[in-house]
Amino acid sequence: MFKKFVAIYLLIFFGLNSGYAQEIEDEDEKDRKEVLVFYKTEGFWHESIPTGRAFIEDLGEDHDFKVTSTKDADDFHSDDLKDYDLVIFLNTTGNVFDEKEQEDFKNYIENGGSFFGIHAAADTEGDWPWFVELVGGFFDGHPAVQQADIKLNMPGHPAVAYLPKVWTRTDEWYNYKNLNPEMQVLLYLDEDSYDGGTNGKEHPIAWFRETGHGGVSIYTGLGHTIESYIEPLFQKHILQSILFALGEEK
């Protein structure tokens, strides 16, 4: 009789605890930040996109944010976007939205959403001035992939605080036009260290600003090559930029 009582007690005890653990798990899932990675192209397709997607998805698993990836602009309707804390444009190119999708993405930003543009995000929606202003500038050509020096401009900012004062690496270095003067520059490119720069002594290559609606916009011009996404310092740059945009790093 006693053994039967103990068995029943244990079943009830573990059943209650199992239910409690499930409730905690459900709450944790609800509290996780959500990130949408958008990689549609209507222009140049970067071979690094699959590697970049896989890397960001791995970051989500390792740092407790949920990642969804899409190249379908139909996912940019208000009801679909409202659950995301951050939208990342990963090497998007060309005019990827119709007018309704543009309107819905603008509404997302104006309702507190955040944006992170990687590399060719600055070669996207060039005919849409609002988006160019959001990104912070627009693509204006580039020389061949080569090594260059990057200068740290805001050593106290979490997106770049771990970088050396001069960071030498190989990538495709964009020149920019229509730069938004509200952007705060995180990293400058040293045009004396490579061939083909056209922005002069203050050539921005990563920047950010608050949108004025509760979110942030952050952009990095790095990330053309596949090798970038397996480079430790660049990986940390992407992670810390995401965490900053999610409000996890101040």
Per-residue pLDDT of 25-46, as tens digits, reads: 444 556 899 999 999 999 999 9
Phi, psi of 207 (to 5 degrees): -160, 175
Contact 184, 153 (CB under 8 A): no
Whole-number Cα distances in Å, 9 to 15, 16, 17, 71, 158: 10, 11, 12, 52, 51
Q: What's the chain's average pLDDT? A: 92
* Helix pair 49-63, 232-245: axis angle to 10 deg: 60
Helices of type H across 111-177: 129-135
Within 10 Å of residue 167's Cβ, how many Cβ atoms? 17
Of all helices (H) and strands (E), which one includes residue 186?
A: strand 184-190
Contact 204, 176 (CB under 8 A): yes
User: Of 202, 206, 105, 79, which is closest to residue 155 (Cα–Cα)?
Assistant: 206
Lowest mean pLDDT among 17-31, 107-121, 179-193: 17-31
pTM of the model: 0.89
User: Of 220, 66, 210, 222, which is closest to residue 137 (Cα–Cα)?
Assistant: 220
Would you say residue 24 has pLDDT above 50? Answer: no
Tokens in use for 87? 């939208």
Contact 246, 86 (CB under 8 A): yes
DSSP type of residue 183: P
The angle at the Cα of 26, spanning 21 to 30, to the nearest 5 degrees, equals 145
Residue range 171-195: average pLDDT? 98
pLDDT of residue 241: 98
